[in-house]
A and B are shown apart, each in its own frame.
Chain A
Amino acid sequence: MIPEPKVVNTIINGDSKQILVSERDSLLEALRDRIGMTGAKEGCNNGNCGACAVIMDGRLVNSCCVMAAEVEGAEIMTVEGLASRDELHPLQTEFLDNAALQCGICTPGFLMSSYALLQENPDPTEEEARFWLAGNLCRCTGYDKIIDSVLTVAKG
C-alpha cells in the first residue's frame, strides 16, 4: 500500500517551498530526492555521522532523523544557504584556504555544525570545538585542519 503524498510548506534558505513528500520521507529525503537539493549528504541515515546536518528553526539537526512532515511551517537552512550572493561565508573561505577538506562529502555537515557552534559559542576553546563537532565524522583529515579552521574563524 503506497501512502498518499503529502504537501509540506516550509522556508528553505529564505525561499518559501512547497514539497510533495511521501509520509515516510525524512527531511533529508525530501531535500535530496523530492526537490533536488543535494548539499546535505547521506552518510549513515541514522544520526551517527552528521553529513546531513541542517539548521531547523535555529537548531542544528541531522536531517535524516527528522520526518519531512515535521518541517511544516519551519525554517530550514542548508549548506546551499551559507554563502551570500556575493561572497562565501568565512567558514567556507577558511575551509578552502586551510585545506580542511579532502573528499568533501562531510564538509556540508561540518560547515553547518561549525556555523551552529559559532552562533552558540562565538569563541570556543579547542576542546569545546572538538566536543561540539564530535557528532560529525570525517575519515580523510584527522580533524586537525577542520578544528584549526573553526578556531581561526572564531578568532576573526
Chain B
Amino acid sequence: MVATEKPQYKIIGTRPRRPDGVDKVTGRAQYGADIKLEGLLYGAVLRSPHAHALIKSIDTSKAEALNGVHAVITNADLVGSGQTFQPTTAEAIESGTYWQALEPGKASPRWAAENILAGPKVLYHGHAVAAVAADDVHIAQDALELIDVEYEILPHVVDVQDAMVDGAPILHPQLRTGVRAAGVDTRSDIETNLASHMRLESGDIEKGFAAADLTIEREFTSSQFHQGYLEPQNATAFWSHDGRINIWTSTQGSFMARDATADVLGVPVASVKVTPMEIGGGFGGKIPIYLEPMAAVLSKKSSRPVKMWMDREAVFQATGPTASSYSKVKIGVTNDGKITAAECLFAMGAGGFPGSPVGAGVQCALAPYKIDNQVIDGLDVVLNTPKTAAYRAPGAPATEYAVESVMDEIAEQLDMDPIDLRLVNVAEEGVRNSSGTPWPKIGAKEVLEAMKSHPHYLSEIQGEDVGRGIAIGFWFNGGMESSSSARVNKDGSIALILGSVDIGGSRASISMQLAETLGVTYEQIAPQVTDTDSVGYTAVTGGSRTTFAGGWVAYELGQTIKAEMISRAAKIWDISGDEITYTDEGTVVGPDDAEGNKRVFSFNELAGKLQATGGLIAVSASSSHTTQGAAYGGHIVDLKVDRDTGKTEILRYTAVQDVGTAIHPDYVEGQIQGGIAQGVGMALNEEYYYDSDGHLMNGSFLDYRVPVANDLPMLDVEMVEVPNPGHPFGVRGVGEVPIVPPQPTIRNAVYDAIGVRFYHTPMSPRRVLDELL
C-alpha cells in the first residue's frame, strides 16, 4: 500500500469479520425473496411481447375467474387519490389531450407509474402490462395466459443514433427537448426523442485547437450492459385495512423506495413503511422501484400479503441496463503531449423514459486532466429499450472509454509512454474541472506514478498476439444525507442503528469508524440496518457514498457520545467537564483527586454508571455532505488474443487506485476486484442483442454471459492512500472507480496484441474475428 501522511489508527485498516457474515455463510440471512408471512400470495407479471405498441384494450376477466387467483391489476389500479394528475382515461387518449406537448425538458407526472405498469403504450419488449396475485406462482403464471391484450404495433427504435434522425419513430409525442446549452441550435418545439441537450464549456476551443500540433478525432459506440446482480428484484407488501402499507424489499435505498412508492400510489409517505431485507447485489440497478407498488395494490385488492419476484428474463427485459452510447471525442496536443483543447459529444440511450446517466458521464469524461479549452455536449435520448438505471459509476465508463482510447492513439503518434502522456496533463489540486470547480486534494498523479513504478508495468511481456494496455478512470464518490442512531448499553456494548442498506460491507466499515472515534473495540458495536420508521432519512446506498457518509455520521455520533460520557464523569466526580479528557484509548480521565488518586474510567466502566447518572445514552445524527471523495484508478492489463476464435484471454491484471483511507482493506480490494470483473465483461463479451423487431434476444445468464471464474486470473490491487481532506477519516469511496478503466485498458492492449483499433465495446469474439478475417 502506498500512503501519504495518515494518522495512526487502531481499528481502521484492520480486517475484522463482517457482522452479517455468519448468517450469510449458513443460509440464515433473510433476503427479500426469503420472507414468509401467514396467508402469503404470490404475484406474477404479464409483459409486453412488443417493443413499441399502443394498448387498445386489456381484458382480465378470464384471469380473475381462475380458481386460486385473488387479484389482477393494470396501470389504472395504481393511481390512488393523492396524485396531482387525473387517471388516464380512454377519452383523454382518444381526444389527444393525453398527448399534449409538455414544457421543454419536463417529464410527465404519469411516467413513473407507466414504467411500473404500462399506460396507453408499451415502450419496450418486456414492459409490464398487468399483474396477478394467486395461491402459488404456477397458478399466477397460468392466469397471465388468460389475460387478453389487444395491441396496435408501432414502429420502434433501439439504437441511439437512429433515434435522433428525422422521421424516427417517436416514443412520447408529448416530449420536447430541454436545452441546457448556450449557443446550440437544438430545437425545443418539435416532437422528438431527444429529451435533453446539455453542455459544459470553458476556455476558447478554437484557439486551443489552433495551438495543437496533433489533433485526433474518433467516434465510439457501446452496447447496453446489465448490472447482472444475482438476486432478482423482489417485493412483498401488505396493505392493511387501516391504510398502512408495509413493504419488504431488496432495495439500495429504503427511503427512496418508500417515497417513490408513495408517489406512484398517491398515498401519504407516512403510510408506507419499507423494511429493507438483505440485498443480493444492485450496482445501481436496485435504486428504481418496479414491483413495490404492484405488490401493494395486489395486496389491497386481495386483503392478503403478496410476494413478487422477477424471473431472470424479466430482470434483463425490464430492469435497468446501462445506456447504450455514441461518443465523438476530439483532442488536440502539442508535440510534447500537452493537451490544448478537447471537444466531446456523448449521446446516451435512456430507454423508454428520459433519464440516462449522460450528465454524470459528461462531468467525468475529462476529469483526469487539466484542459483549459473544452466543450462537452451530452444528449439524453429515449429508445424502445428498458428504462436505464444507474450502473456503477453511471455514465462514466462510456465517456472515459472514448477519451482514454483517444489518449492511447495520441501517445502512439507522439511516441510517448502512455503513462507519461497522462502525467503531463494530470489534474491536481486547484485545477478547475469541467464544471468549473477547483479540485480539492486528489490522487490522480499519485496513481499514475504508482502505475509507472509497479512491477507489472516494469515487467517484459512476450509471446505472439500478446499485448499490454493501460488507462485511468475517475468517479466523484458522493456525500448526500445519512442518518444513524446509537445506544450505549450498561456493559459498554453499543447498538448502532443504520439507515443505509448494506450492500457490500458497510455495517462493518461504519462500525469500524464509530469504534475508532470512541476508542472502543469493533466487537462491542452491534450494527443493524433498520426500517424507514426507525431511523432518520438516509439516501441510497450508491455513488460510493455509504462508507463515506455513514462514517461521517458515525464520527458525529461518537463525538456526541464522548461529550455525554464526559458530562457523566463530571457528575460522578463533581468537577467541571472542562477538566476531563476523553482519550484515544476510550478512557475518561480527570485530574487527580484531593488525595492524589487518579480519576479514570474505562468506557465500559463508565457505561455501567450511566443508568444511575441520568440514563443510558441514546443519540441520533443526520448529516448531509456536499463534499465529494473524488478518486482515480489506473489499470494495467496483459492479454492474449486467439486469432482462431476471436477470444481474448486476460493474462495479468493490476488495478492501482486512490482509495483515500482503506477502512477495511479486504473489502476495498473486493470492491476493486468486483469492479474489474464487471468492466472486463463490458470490454469483452456482455451486450444486449435485439432482433429486427426490437425483441431482446439474450435475456438469460446463458446468453448474456457475465464473466465466470475461469474467465479471469487473480486480480492484483495496489491501494494508494491520499486521504480525502473532506472527511474525518479521509474516506473517498471506492466501489465505482474500478469499473471505469477496464474497457479502454483492454481496448488499448488488444491493439498492442494484434494491431487492430476497436471503436465499439464489447470486443466480443465475433467482432474480433470480423476484424481479423
Contacts and interface: CB of A to CB of B under 8 A. Distances in A.
Interface string B126-154: 00000000011111000000000000000
Query: Residue among A22, A39, A142 with the most chain B CB within 10 A?
Result: A142
Q: Is the interface of B mostly helix, strand, loop or mixed?
A: loop
Contact of A48 (B26, B677, B678, B700): B700
Contacts of A144: 669-670, 673, 712, 714-715
Nearest to B307: A33
A95 B25 contact: yes
B701 to A, nearest CB: 4
B230 A79 contact: no
A61 interface: no
Contact of B710 (A40, A95, A102, A134): A134
B709 A136 contact: yes
Contact of A138 (B42, B230, B675): B230
A111 B279 CA distance: 19
A142 B712 contact: yes
A143 B712 contact: yes
Contact of A107 (B24, B228, B677): B24
Interface in B226-266: 227-232
A49 B230 contact: yes
Most chain A CB within a 10 A radius of its CB, from B28, B231, B279, B709: B709
A74 interface: no
Nearest to B36: A36
Nearest to B15: A99
Interface in B19-33: 20-22, 24-31, 33
Contacts of A134: 708-710
Given A24-B138, A139-B228, A127 B283 contact: no
Interface in A67-101: 78-80, 82-83, 88, 92, 95-99, 101
Contacts of B280: 41, 43, 103-106
B306 to A, nearest CB: 14
A34 B661 CA distance: 47
B26 A145 contact: no
A147 B709 contact: yes
A1 to B, nearest CB: 8
A32 to B, nearest CB: 8
A146 B426 CA distance: 36
Contacts of A16: none
B715 A142 contact: yes
Contacts of A129: 709
A43 B673 contact: no
A44 interface: yes
Interface string B485-517: 000000000000000000111000000000000
Interface in A23-48: 24-25, 29, 32-33, 36-46, 48
Interface in B663-685: 664, 666-667, 669-671, 673-678
Given A104-B278, A137-B230, A45 B702 contact: no
Nearest to B35: A38
B283 A139 contact: yes
A22 B138 contact: yes
Contacts of A123: none
A19 interface: no
Contact of A96 (B25, B671, B709): B25
A106 B230 contact: yes
A133 interface: yes
A96 B22 contact: yes
Interface residues of B, number: 66
A116 B68 CA distance: 40
Interface in B434-459: none
B309 interface: yes
A43 B232 contact: yes
A140 B22 CA distance: 18
Nearest to A38: B34
A96 B21 contact: yes
Contacts, number: 197
A36 B231 CA distance: 18
Given A38-B30, A101-B25, A104-B278, A143 B701 contact: no
B59 interface: no
B232 A42 contact: yes
A111 B25 contact: yes
Contacts of B397: none
Interface string B64-82: 0001100000000000000
Contact of A101 (B24, B28, B31, B228): B24
B110 interface: no
Task: State the main secondary structure of chain A at its contact with B.
Answer: loop
A139 B230 contact: yes
B670 A140 contact: yes
A51 interface: yes
Contacts of B584: none
Contacts of A103: 229-231, 278-282, 503-504
B625 interface: no
A39 B231 contact: no
B25 A107 contact: yes
Given A96-B21, A103-B281, A147-B714, A140 B504 contact: yes
Contacts of A99: 15, 18, 505, 664, 666-667, 669-670
Most buried by B among A39, A96, A104, A141: A104
Given A46-B700, A103-B503, A104-B280, A142 B312 contact: no
B56 interface: no
Contacts of A38: 27, 30-31, 33-34, 36
B304 to A, nearest CB: 15
A134 B68 CA distance: 40
A44 B312 contact: yes
B137 A29 contact: yes
B471 to A, nearest CB: 18
Contacts of A45: 311-312
A25 B504 CA distance: 33
A101 to B, nearest CB: 6
A101 B670 CA distance: 9
B706 interface: yes
A83 B27 CA distance: 10
Interface string B706-749: 11111010110000000000000000000000000000000000
Contacts of B29: 104
B6 interface: no
A44 B310 CA distance: 9
Interface string A114-156: 0000000000001101110111111111111111100000000
A99 to B, nearest CB: 4
A15 to B, nearest CB: 15
Nearest to B42: A33
A40 B289 CA distance: 25
A133 B674 CA distance: 16
B17 interface: yes
B670 A143 contact: no
Contacts of B26: 39, 79-80, 82-83, 88, 92
Nearest to A34: B136
A145 B33 contact: no
A126 B709 CA distance: 10
A139 B281 contact: yes
Contact of A141 (B135, B138, B503, B673): B673
Contacts of B28: 39, 80
- Closest A-B pairs by Cβ, 6 of them: A39-B27, A105-B280, A104-B24, A142-B673, A142-B677, A48-B701
8 contacts: A33-B42, A43-B231, A43-B280, A46-B312, A88-B26, A101-B25, A105-B230, A130-B710
Given A142-B715, A144-B714, 15 more contacts: A2-B67, A2-B135, A42-B309, A46-B701, A96-B22, A99-B669, A103-B230, A106-B280, A107-B25, A137-B228, A139-B678, A139-B706, A144-B712, A146-B709, A148-B714
